[in-house]
Amino acid sequence: MSLFSHRFSRRGTVALLTAALAGLTVGGAAWGVTSTAAQASAGVPTCSASDLYLSMGRKEGAAGSLYWSIRFTNTGTSTCALRGYPGVSVLDTAHRQIGPAATRTGESSSTVTLAPARSTVAVIRTANGPIGGPCLRTGTYLRIYPPASHTAILVPAHWTICSGIFQTGPVNNDGTF
């Protein structure tokens, strides 16, 4: 399990800086990715955890829910693809899990192809306070398994599961849940 994504190589640092300079935003800017299954089936490998840098976007509240986007940035030197849902759970400072792992929204997913230094997101959701149930204690990290990966990445993130609601959407280019 990697802590804080992974140590940056020179190539990873350059890729991350390039992504930042490209002005990527979570809310629907041009991501520089394509979302066609044809490209993925044309031999584009699945992104490995070692080629991804994970970071958190802004928390947003709406209609009694709290949403937070997880950004997956390709720090590798070649194009890779992600499809489906990340595995997400909340951890305390001792890396013990708090509550259940996030469930999937059930939304359909498509393949997102990431060129080097490009990003995509998946959005997590909980209730915005104790609406019909209590809140668990606030976690210090999110343990995130990128889609199709058995390697977790720890991201520093204060997250509280409330009312038994904790869901994740699939990776997508739109920043939607």
Q: What is the pLDDT of residues 19-47, one digit of tens each?
A: 433 333 333 333 344 444 434 446 899 99
- The domains located in the chain, with CATH, are 2-21+50-168 (2.60.40)
Strand partners, 33: 114
**pTM confidence score:** 0.78
pLDDT score for 29? 35
One-letter amino acid of 102 = A
Question: CB–CB of 89/97 below 8 Å?
Answer: yes
CA–CA distances in Å: residue 162 to residues 116, 129, 169? 36, 6, 17
Q: What is the pLDDT of residue 43?
A: 87
In this prediction, residue 176 carries a pLDDT of 86
Residue 31 is predicted with a pLDDT of 38
> How many other C-beta atoms lie within 10 A of the C-beta of residue 155?
22
Q: Share the mean pLDDT of the chain.
A: 83
Residues (pLDDT < 50) of the chain are: 1-41
- What's the pLDDT score for residue 7? 38
Cα–chain-centroid distance for residue 120?
8
